[in-house]
Amino acid sequence: MRQIVLDTETTGLEVTQGHRIIEIGCVELVDRRITGSTYQTYINPDREIDQAAEKVHGITTSYLEDKPRFAEISGALIDYLEGAELIIHNADFDAGFLDAELKLIRPDFPGIGSICSVLDTLALARQLHPGQRCSLDALCKRYEIDNSSRVLHGAMLDSQILAEVYLVMTGGQTSLLPELDSGSLSTAKNNNQSLAGVQTKTKVIYPDQNELDAHNEWIKKLEQDSDEEPLWR
């Protein structure tokens, strides 16, 4: 299974106001493994970047003057994405910008969903953690993923971080205990409730020899009562 974790940076927030993509970053996963294959490019948007957007990603209009236009990179981008499942945090935003750019080249283009499927990790995170913050930074904190290098947003950096978040978030149960945020812990302390048993990691308790012997005797009994060879042997 081939998946592409994708992020974009743009000149502003609203595609309906003519804002454009200025950076695309992609990280490839195959069978839930990061392969090392990536795709990254900066793009000349032929327009000014909003000051608010520049403060978020740090990319300036002057830096993009010698970069290719979207039409020049669109073929390579489609070749890289086609047939994969896109993993995007807040997919409506990035997919909306990709669709707008591709339709400027091909007005009849049916949408990015016509060449690949799309998984929105923001929607997934909200299902897994209802009522909690689900920004990329919040998920990094929740899953203990280092994002200290994320001083500014960047499409390539954010794709790399999101790839790690996605793999942890969809990798199964990470704790046998319910989530306790700092507020819950604070409330428990204020109420003088015992915090015994609250753990951040699952504790593994290994059986002693007496328990192993008792287990083996039970297995033997099951084998004697069964007409077929048990799978566990």
Is 17 within the bounds of a domain?
yes
pTM for the model stands at 0.72
Is 72 within the bounds of a domain?
yes
CB proximity list for 19: less than 8 A, separation 6 or greater = 10, 11, 12, 13, 45, 47, 50, 53, 97
Is 149 within the bounds of a domain?
yes
* pLDDT tens per residue across span 87-110: 999 999 999 999 999 999 999 999
What's the pLDDT score for residue 150? 73
Alpha helices per DSSP H over the chain = 51-57, 70-81, 91-105, 121-128, 136-142, 155-169, 182-190, 209-225
Q: Which of 19, 89, 153, 215 is catalytic?
A: 153
Q: Which of 40-44, 55-59, 141-145 has the highest mean pLDDT?
A: 40-44
Is 223 within the bounds of a domain?
no
Is 69 within the bounds of a domain?
yes
* pLDDT tens per residue across span 196-216: 343 444 556 777 788 787 877
Determine the Cα–Cα distance for residues 121 and 135; give it in Å rounded to an integer. 10
Q: How confident is the model at residue 217 (pLDDT cuts 50, 70, 90)?
A: confident
In percent, how much of the chain has pLDDT > 70?
81
* pLDDT tens per residue across span 132-185: 999 999 999 999 998 887 766 889 999 999 999 999 999 854 333 344 343 433
Tokens linked to 12: 């502003």
Verify whether residue 153 is a known catalytic residue: yes
Is 185 within the bounds of a domain?
no
Average pLDDT over residues 213-225: 74
Determine the Cα–Cα distance for residues 134 and 123; give it in Å rounded to an integer. 9
CATH of the domain at 151: 3.30.420.10
Instruction: Give the number of domains in the chain.
Output: 1
Is 208 within the bounds of a domain?
no
Is 64 within the bounds of a domain?
yes
User: Structural domain of residue 105, as residue ranges?
Assistant: 2-169
